[in-house]
Amino acid sequence: MELDIKHFKDLLEKEKETLLGELSTVGRRNPQNPKDWEAVEPDMGNTGADDNEVADSMEEFGTNKAILEQLETRLWEVNKAIKKIDDGIFGICEVSGEPIELDRLEANPAARTNKAHMND
């Protein structure tokens, strides 16, 4: 069965837009490298914040940094899948060179391996 490339590209482009939106809620683009994202540190300047407020802000920063790293990784995977579509090699397992199962691609259009090599 032939892959509906347009369908998967549409799925990936929609996910990319969602990821970019989510990234902008927990971080910003790195001014030195626009392809990179960084968590924004809380501005605790002369706010008169007490120790609890400072601790809460630092905890939020740590949480945002962890979320940002996960989102950035997923964005990398989605961009790689879009490039594979553009290069004509989408849906091919990076380990075996065999086709990736359609149901796997429906569940995760950025999948890089078939089911047999999911944990490789």
Per-residue model confidence as pLDDT tens for the chain (120 residues): 578 999 999 999 999 999 999 999 888 998 898 888 988 776 555 555 676 776 777 777 788 889 999 999 999 999 999 999 999 999 999 999 999 999 999 999 999 999 999 887
Burial grade of 103 (CB within 10 A; 0-12, 13-18, 19 or more)? exposed
Helix (H) or strand (E) holding 53: helix 51-87
Listed by start position, the domains of the chain span: 9-41+50-89
Q: Distance between CA 106 and CA 111 in Å, rounded?
A: 9
CA distance between the termini of the chain: 25
Its sign, for the CA torsion 87, 88, 90, 96, is: negative
75 CB-near residues (< 8 Å, 6+ apart) = 16, 19, 20, 23
Quote the pTM value: 0.82
Contact 99, 114 (CB under 8 A): yes
